[in-house]
Structure 1
Amino acid sequence: MKTEVLDILMYLFETYLEDDDSDIPSEDSIRNELSKIGFQDAKVTKAFDWLDDLAVLKDDFSDEVTFNIKQGQHAERYQKNHSIRIFSPLEIEKFDIQARGVLIDLVELNVITPGQRELIIDKALALDIAHIDQEQMKWVILMVLFNLPDSAGPFTWIQDLLYEETPTVH
């Protein structure tokens, strides 16, 4: 089976990030562990690059939300979906219809904002996977939301959805 960057990210998330434990080993220790497990060094590097880029995008996203709220837009107005998202040909090619449907549904249900959706799409495309299905998209959504401030409710909702529990609408 071909190992993808998403497989490494999922492993890291389940092993280290999901726990509230503050005893996360150093990056070098994690890299050594991943190498021993059998993940390719090039893919591990891409996974860490993906996480680093997410941290930068998270800061940009937070700054944009803060700027819009300071400019007189109320937070609840900023959160509402007043637009229609048309997927590009590349996105249609990369994301199957169920993966795109998850994104559309989550925005329509006000679980995620249009801005969060765009960040999720950006990070999904950055994985450089030929085809992303619904389950893989749910993992991308979960990892992105985990790293965004003030996303505890949507994160829990997606986590329930991923682990096939009935999501709770807050």
Structure 2
Amino acid sequence: MFEIIMYLFESYIQVDQTMELDTQEVTDELMQEGFQKSDITKALAWLDNLANMHSQEPQTRATAEKKTSHRIYNKQEQRQISLECRNYIHYLEEAKILTTHTREMVIDCIMSLDSGELILEDVKWLILMVLFNDPVSDDAFLQLESMLMDFEDGLIH
């Protein structure tokens, strides 16, 4: 399912975020690419859920964001999110790229993939998708995108 989400992010979402997609047309295209219909349905539902997470009221978000919060991962989250990935999420929060709200969105998105443990590179792209789809996180998205692209080009600051 994660491969489908990445494919859609690279093909559609990143290009034009205002573009309306025809679900049947996208499903047909993905099936032609060799993806299974059940995985396509799950991926589209996951993306729908991501979009709904961003529709939360600003006041509710502000209340949820506590400056002194500390995240304790439950056993299921620890099994699905490696220590390396949890440390990276914490690093981004300390760097003010993730807020407590976007951190929780990232964790929810990882857990809803229900695909076992993801590698750090996959989690980085997932975080980028979460920030890209959040109208409040434009600066954070650009910061993370820059970090990821500089790292891929071999430029480490």
Q: Same fold (TM over 0.5)?
A: yes
Whole-Å separation in 1 of the counterparts to 2:17 and 2:137: 19
Counterpart of 1:110 in 2: which secondary structure?
A: coil
Are the counterparts in 2 of residues 6 and 127 from structure 1 also a CA contact under 8 Å? yes
Q: How does 1:55-74 map to 2 (within 5 A)?
A: 55-60=51-56, 62=58, 64-65=60-61, 68=63
Note the alpha carbon deviations across 1:12-39, whole angstroms, 9 max, x for none: 0001111137555522111111000000
Aligned to 2:67: 81
Note the alpha carbon deviations across 1:50-71, whole angstroms, 9 max, x for none: 11111221112645126x4xxx
Aligned to 1:10: 6
Gaps of 5+ in 2: none
Please tell me the root mean square deviation across aligned C-alpha atoms, in Å: 2.3
TM-score w.r.t. structure 2 length? 0.87
1:35 aligns with 2:44: no
Whole-Å separation in 1 of the counterparts to 2:156 and 2:142: 8
1:44 aligns with 2:30: no
1:150 aligns with 2:143: no
Are the counterparts in 2 of residues 81 and 107 from structure 1 also a CA contact under 8 Å? no
1:127 aligns with 2:113: yes
Whole-Å separation in 1 of the counterparts to 2:19 and 2:76: 40
* Corresponding residue pairs, total: 154
Change (3 A) 1:155 1:96: same
Between the aligned residues of both structures, percent identity stands at: 33
Whole-Å separation in 1 of the counterparts to 2:79 and 2:85: 11
Letter in 1 for 2:113: L
Counterpart of 2:72 in 1: which secondary structure?
A: coil
Change (3 A) 1:22 1:121: closer
Aligned to 1:90: 76
Whole-Å separation in 1 of the counterparts to 2:127 and 2:19: 25
Letter in 2 for 1:88: N
Gaps of 5+ in 1: 69-77
